[in-house]
Chains A and B, each alone.
Chain A
Amino acid sequence: EPEVTQTPSHQVTQMGQEVILRCVPISNHLYFYWYRQILGQKVEFLVSFYNNEISEKSEIFDDQFSVERPDGSNFTLKIRSTKLEDSAMYFCASKRDRDNQPQHFGDGTRLSIL
């Protein structure tokens, strides 16, 4: 069964540094998402992306965050100047159509900010 894949599985970064999290969505999917989960808390929506542009974003997704689909397969989340509170699991998800079908999640990147 096709999977969403994410790299790296664990990223350790100094506060203030830039970090790029990478995702390869399922190949025929058109809608892409980033979520995060701080340890012990609920999964939170960050941003959705379709047709090479952001379609929806949450309050968490401020100017420090950006997303990009640099080629036909990768979908990246960049955090420009990381803060301690950015430490979390970051999940990428994708779905094929706009209808009410479920999203499929990657196994996440654990981001630790020191």
Chain B
Amino acid sequence: RKEVEQDPGPFNVPEGATVAFNCTYSNSASQSFFWYRQDCRKEPKLLMSVYSSGNEDGRFTAQLNRASQYISLLIRDSKLSDSATYLCVRGNAGNMLTFGGGTRLMVKP
């Protein structure tokens, strides 16, 4: 089983839509979780950390379910500029990051 698994997509949505991505991980000892976004051939950029209580940053909401080893990202009111690949990432105790393969989002006008 892959350590961090994501649906590769692509998710094609119109502007203004709400879209949700899911991610599962296999290592129950994982310490920390993040969503990064990556534009084509660019570096990963932090979108948000993911906390057990769930957290929100503007149009973005992240949820973590440790019992099910499941993480989600919800994007409300999608913008054209949200088009990117969204990377689900977990960190271990040594802070090594393990990346999922990413979910590609395309927001259309």
Contacts and interface: CB of A to CB of B under 8 A. Distances in A.
Interface of A: 31, 33, 35, 41-45, 48, 55-56, 58, 89, 91, 93, 95, 98, 100-108, 110
B14 interface: no
Contacts of B21: none
B46 A44 contact: no
**Chain A contact surface mostly:** strand
Nearest to B33: A100
A39 B42 CA distance: 11
Contacts of B97: 33, 35, 43, 45, 93, 103
A89 B49 contact: no
16 contacts: A42-B100, A42-B101, A43-B44, A43-B87, A44-B99, A48-B94, A48-B96, A56-B96, A98-B95, A100-B91, A101-B49, A102-B49, A105-B44, A106-B43, A107-B42, A108-B43
Nearest to A110: B41
Contacts of B100: 42
Contacts of B31: 100
B98 interface: yes
Residue of A35, A41, A103, A110 ringed by the most chain B CB atoms within 10 A: A103
A43 B99 contact: yes
Given A42-B102, A100-B32, A89 B41 contact: yes
Contacts of A98: 95
Interface string B67-109: 0000000000000000000010001001111111110000000
Contacts of B91: 100
